[in-house]
Amino acid sequence: MTGRPILQTQFEKRLWRTLNGGGILGRYAATNGGSQTALESISTYQGTVDPGLLVSLMDRLAEEGKATAEVLRELVSSSRAVDCTPSIRASEILLEKGEFRAAEELLARSDRSQEVLHRSIAEARIRKASGDMEGAKAAAVRAYESDPSCDEPYAILAELDPYGEWPQRHNIQQVFDGRSPSDAPGEGRMQELYRIYYEWFRGSRESASEMLAKSRHYASGDRDFMLASARMSVDEGDWHSADMMYARLLPGAPAFLRREMAEASLDAGDYGRALQLLAESDQTSPRTMLDTVRARHGTGDRRETMVALRAYLDSEWAGSEEYLEAVRMLIGFGMDAEASTVLDMYVDSCGNDAESLILRSMLSERAGDSMSALIFATEATMREKGSRGARAQRARVYLSMDDPVKAGKECARILAEDPNDPDALRLMMTIQSRAGDHKGALESCRKLMDVQPADAGLLLDMADALMRTGSAEDAADAAHRAVRMDGTMDVYTRAISVLMSSGPNRDASYLCREAETRFPREPVFKRIRGNMEYAGGEYVRASASYAEAALGDPENPGVWYSKGMSDEASGDLESAEEAFDRALALDPDDSGCWIAKASVREARGDLRGAVRALDRAAELDRADTYPMVRKAVMLSNQGRHAEALRILGYAARMEPDNASIRDEMERVRREMDSYVPEAPETADRNEPEPVPVVPAAEHSHDREVQEVTLESFVETEPDAPVPAEEVGKHTVPMSEEVGSEPIPEPEPIPEPSEEPVTDQEPEPEPESEPEPEPEPEVQRAPALDVDALYSTAFSLEEAGDHRGATRILDRILSADPDNTDALKLRAEIAVRTGDLDSAVTLAGKAAGLSPDDPDPYRIMGEAKMAKGDLGGALSDLDTAVSMGADDADVHAARGEVLERMGVLDRASECYSAAVSRDPSRLDLAERLARMMYARKEAIAADGMLNRILRRDPRRMSAILLKAEIANARKDDKSLMAAYDYFVKCPNPGPENTVRMVRILEESGHQAEAKGLVVGRPQKDVADNSVKRYAEKALRRAFSMKVSPTDPDLINALGLDQESAAEVTAYLAEQPDYGSINPGSESFGRMESLSRDAVMKLDWRDLEHNPRLPLERVFVQCGCKDADSAKEIVAYVLRAMLADPGRNADPRLSDMSMRLPKGITVYEIMRECGVGVYEARVVQSLIV
């Protein structure tokens, strides 16, 4: 742990202030016996104390000469059972004083901790000081095998084992970790291995590989040399060879090797394998915990990522610096909301310091709140005068606010104080690059390279600057050096992006092939390959590459969109439309994909389908004029110039400064003046030519994996300038070309109104009809495509968007008031939203317009039923049935009306008809069962419920109805079947439990009823993360003296809603211990534990309150986990409720003879030294 501890309770925070002088009272206490005051407070405190706080107090007492063995022993006893740092620090203090035995005793108090490294180092020092050299050596070796990057074991082992070549091993590990070797060179096997490591990691890979291949130790299978080979393969990105070599080393390998292998799997992107290996590694190691966080993030599971991170932050190794680093990690993951939660926990303990304010500013900036970001950054500069980090953040905020002048001034101030400040140099480079000063950016980048020479990202920045200044060869060299320095997937992706900024080239292709070899499971590089092939005109090969990418990432709509574009360009229109349909199934709100589909539809001659797709695109992006203009082009190609002009006029009003739209209007007017309709028989030869659509921009959700867009090939920087030729602008590269620059929202104008496009040639307009003036025609809005709009409204209604569907239906009805489909759907929405009068009116109008349609009468019946007009509802529903309505809904509605009217026979018939029409409707089947039961048809009702429960065995309402029917029929077998269904439900709820208990008690099943009352069988075993947070809640509940399921306490854990519910459910779940068998192996153990619990809790009233508080049992009894505490609670409860019998052990009979009548179970346990069950037996024998 670095920095100060993150404290959770008010007691711990007050104690910290007492020790360190926080606040006026804290400063007074710190200068007037603060350590003694803190010690006295801990002595009287009932709960456990943060290990960092205990260690801080121990250090203070050691400085003051007050750290006696007794005092340290008392402090260690106040720590959590799983913590070891207080024991380790206490043993170190005593060891410095020469009290070896006391030091050993205090270190042994952390035996329940699973931590290896630090406890082994402390043990080695104690044993060495006490003369046990062999024991010290064994402990130091254990520490080395736990984490060879730790320097301390080497010094101990070099002294205890002078022939073990430990200095050379130390040098090897330091070179492998990227550090400078600290020990003098030696001779022999380890020195030979050191030279191989040194040559490899300084860049002479060929020389190192040759030395390794020629080594006789490697040839003989020496494990240290084989490990070097595995590490070299990992560094090269040869994951297959590395995995094979590690697999050969695993049997009998030291503990660190499994974690190292997991980290190699992490770098290879094999997160499942990494998690499997990490689960078998040292779970208490901070490095393992952080690797688990990375692996969980790699799988894309945000919830599990936070569970793993919280486990790390809740450990004794996480202090203030670790919390801040966790916030930075979450920001890097894109998990801003979670980062804010962790930052709140830090601020709650440490307050708003400069570093937390900088991070708060970064989060506000990422959320788009630049003003708040600037305020936080400014406050950070005021909190810590001269903080270059705060000034750098202010510069970043100014840059995000498009104020490069102020950003430059902030950078200049930083560089005036420190010309080599990396943050300021990087910001200055960004400012210069955005201003187009690429030479200046290159110069700043070179200065930064002098400060940070081993930064792959910086090398790529240099490569980008070199490309922009025209030095393509130097840029390629820098990009290749970057991927050699850091061969991760992100670096490869960005390197290819930089090299392709001027178009596909040989270097980019080479890197792409190399990346595919290193990351064979990653579809992103197959997609990049497709992008390069598409840009080179190899559309068929590009389609094949996108198909490969889709196999690895089938849920990415962008991949299918790119494949569709390639298929369309190659002329395979059927495959193109299929690919676009797959993309739209995954992302139906992508207007660009609808436009592309319209292009394919038009090319295939389906003009109606093309127009529907264009209308859908227009609905999704109301600010984009391209769909309207393209539709106008199609109409003008059919000779429908007046309609085309109306649509173009509407587009011109949206973009009054768009010259391309005006040019298109002029072209249509010219064609309109010279247009002569051809004969109908030649109509099919005049279909409009397809207009190619340039690929639309990449979907926003693809940015999370930094995938490559079709237009910019491999651009992964969200803030990078967008090329002018990108199709997100939807430019049409033909004579029909129109602009589509971003536009402001147009003022409200009448919606367009027109008839849908057909595949037939329009009739020539009569010559006698006067030609309308062009300008008024431009002002008239185009007509609606009713079919397309209705389809959109129907889809929105199915998705639950009643407001959106209503808005579109109202547009349809304003253009076509007699559209019966729109009227009916609008009426159904009115019923669902409670606007019953409108529903009746709309459905009545539809019934008048379509007298043979039963649907309006069904809708009116449902609306009247909801209003309470049962007679009118039944009349309308009967009319619907007489007109042919025969689906489950109409019969169910009739059944509900008749049931409310009390006509149960007819209601039952209606429900039966509804179930026969749709057997999957279990709600209707259950209504039918209730009707049968109400009509005294209990056997038939039970049979129907059996059918329901076979399909849904956790349907609680059906289970309880089955139990009620079985109880009424005195059918014990059916009741027990319902009980079995009930106990298998994970969370039936208190009300349902009360109902089932009442039914069981009425039927004489007292034992089953009692089992439900005292604790249902625990069917689902909580996972480890839930248990860990439950144990944290128990500790806090004990210290705060509140219920462990208290909502405020659970919320303070910082869990998401689902995890909090799981923790609450686990804590509330009360397992049943089962039967108690005196004489069994577990009986003696549980009797001893129960006596220990009752005595420690001083729980005297067992007869009236036999359930011990779980939080007190867990903390005061020192249980190893929550399950153990639950077992004790369940055992005590079962022992108090069980029948003790009369055939007792003679030993217990003798005890009863000397005890007075009326003595309590607690008093018997105290007097006789027995457990709860045996105390009950003794009590029952007293005469």
Number of Cα atoms under 13 Å in the Cβ half of residue 124: 24
Residues 1088, 1055 contacting (CB under 8 angstroms): no
**Rounded to an integer, what distance in angstroms lies between the CA atom of residue 423 and that of residue 415?**
10
Q: Does 779 score more than 60 pLDDT?
A: no
pLDDT tens per residue across span 835-849: 888 889 998 988 888
Residues 1015, 1071 contacting (CB under 8 angstroms): yes
pLDDT band at 411 (very low <50, low <70, confident <90, very high): confident
What count of other Cβ atoms lies within 10 Å of the Cβ of residue 884? Answer: 9
Q: Which helix (H) or strand (E) holds 1068?
A: helix 1057-1068
Q: Which helix (H) or strand (E) holds 813?
A: helix 802-815
pLDDT tens per residue across span 717-762: 333 333 333 333 333 332 233 333 332 333 333 333 344 444 444 4
| CA 1027 distance to own-chain centroid | 20
**Rounded to an integer, what distance in angstroms lies between the CA atom of residue 373 and that of residue 359?**
9
What count of other Cβ atoms lies within 10 Å of the Cβ of residue 578? Answer: 16
**Rounded to an integer, what distance in angstroms lies between the CA atom of residue 262 and that of residue 135?**
31
What are the residue ranges spanned by the domains of the chain?
A: 521-588+693-720+727-731, 594-600+609-691+751-761+777-783, 785-885, 1070-1181
**1099 Cβ contact list (under 8 Å, min separation 6):** 1093, 1105, 1108, 1162
For position 932, what pLDDT does the model report?
84
For position 788, what pLDDT does the model report?
58
What count of other Cβ atoms lies within 10 Å of the Cβ of residue 1104? Answer: 7
For position 139, what pLDDT does the model report?
92
pLDDT band at 31 (very low <50, low <70, confident <90, very high): low
What is the average per-residue pLDDT within 1064-1091?
81
Long-range contacts formed by 378-385: CB under 8 A, 24+ apart: 379/352, 380/354, 380/355, 381/354, 383/352, 383/353, 383/354, 383/357, 384/353, 384/354
> Could you tell me what percent of the chain has a pLDDT over 90?
11
**What b/e readout covers 813-843, taking b as 16+ CB neighbours within 10 angstroms?**
bebbeebbbbbbbbbbbbbeeebbebbbbbb
Structure tokens, 167: 């200095």
What is the average per-residue pLDDT within 1114-1140?
86
Higher pLDDT, residue 379 or 785? 379
For position 798, what pLDDT does the model report?
62
Q: Does 1065 score more than 90 pLDDT?
A: no
What is the average per-residue pLDDT within 22-38?
58
pLDDT band at 314 (very low <50, low <70, confident <90, very high): confident
Q: Does 593 score more than 90 pLDDT?
A: yes
Residues 84, 115 contacting (CB under 8 angstroms): yes
**Rounded to an integer, what distance in angstroms lies between the CA atom of residue 596 and that of residue 349?**
55
On the 0-12 / 13-18 / 19+ scale of CB atoms within 10 A, 1051 is: exposed
pLDDT tens per residue across span 1005-1017: 877 887 776 654 4
CATH number for 785-885 (one of 2.60.40.1080, 1.25.40.10, 3.40.50.720, 1.10.260.40): it is: 1.25.40.10
Type of residue found at 630: R
Of residues 815, 798, 785, the one with CA closest to residue 609: 785
CATH number for 521-588+693-720+727-731 (one of 1.25.40.10, 1.20.1740.10, 3.40.50.12160, 1.20.1560.10): it is: 1.25.40.10
Of residues 878, 852, 851, 853, the one with CA closest to residue 864: 878
Q: Mean pLDDT lowest for which of 50-54, 261-265, 736-740, 1150-1154?
A: 736-740
What count of other Cβ atoms lies within 10 Å of the Cβ of residue 683? Answer: 16
Q: What is the DSSP string of 943-1004?
A: HHHHHHHHH-TT-HHHHHHHHHHHHHHT-HHHHHHHHHHHHTSS---HHHHHHHHHHHHHTT
For position 742, what pLDDT does the model report?
31
What is the average per-residue pLDDT within 435-447?
83
pLDDT tens per residue across span 206-233: 888 889 888 899 888 899 999 999 998 8
Structure tokens, 696: 């639309």
Residues 726, 513 contacting (CB under 8 angstroms): no
Coil/strand/helix, residue 769: coil
For position 674, what pLDDT does the model report?
64
pLDDT tens per residue across span 1015-1056: 544 333 446 678 878 888 888 787 677 788 888 778 777 677
Q: Mean pLDDT lowest for which of 421-430, 907-916, 993-1002, 1136-1145?
A: 1136-1145
For position 1, what pLDDT does the model report?
60
pLDDT tens per residue across span 607-637: 888 888 998 888 888 888 888 888 888 888 8
**Rounded to an integer, what distance in angstroms lies between the CA atom of residue 990 and that of residue 1045?**
15
For position 796, what pLDDT does the model report?
59
Q: Mean pLDDT lowest for which of 326-340, 469-483, 762-776, 1143-1157?
A: 762-776
pTM listed for this prediction? 0.51
Residues 230, 249 contacting (CB under 8 angstroms): yes
Coil/strand/helix, residue 883: coil
pLDDT tens per residue across span 690-725: 333 333 333 333 333 333 333 333 333 333 333 333
**444 Cβ contact list (under 8 Å, min separation 6):** 425, 426, 428, 429, 432
Structure tokens, 450: 């002098």
Q: Does 1119 score more than 80 pLDDT?
A: yes
What count of other Cβ atoms lies within 10 Å of the Cβ of residue 984? Answer: 13
- For domain 594-600+609-691+751-761+777-783, the CATH class is mainly alpha
- Paired with 5 in beta bridges are 319
For position 1158, what pLDDT does the model report?
84
| DSSP, res 385 | T
Q: Does 326 score more than 90 pLDDT?
A: yes
**Rounded to an integer, what distance in angstroms lies between the CA atom of residue 912 and that of residue 238?**
67
**Rounded to an integer, what distance in angstroms lies between the CA atom of residue 606 and that of residue 567?**
18
Coil/strand/helix, residue 709: coil
**Rounded to an integer, what distance in angstroms lies between the CA atom of residue 507 and that of residue 528?**
13
**Rounded to an integer, what distance in angstroms lies between the CA atom of residue 675 and that of residue 439?**
57
**521-588+693-720+727-731 and 594-600+609-691+751-761+777-783, same CATH topology:** yes
**Rounded to an integer, what distance in angstroms lies between the CA atom of residue 5 and that of residue 15?**
12
Of residues 18, 27, 19, the one with CA closest to residue 59: 19
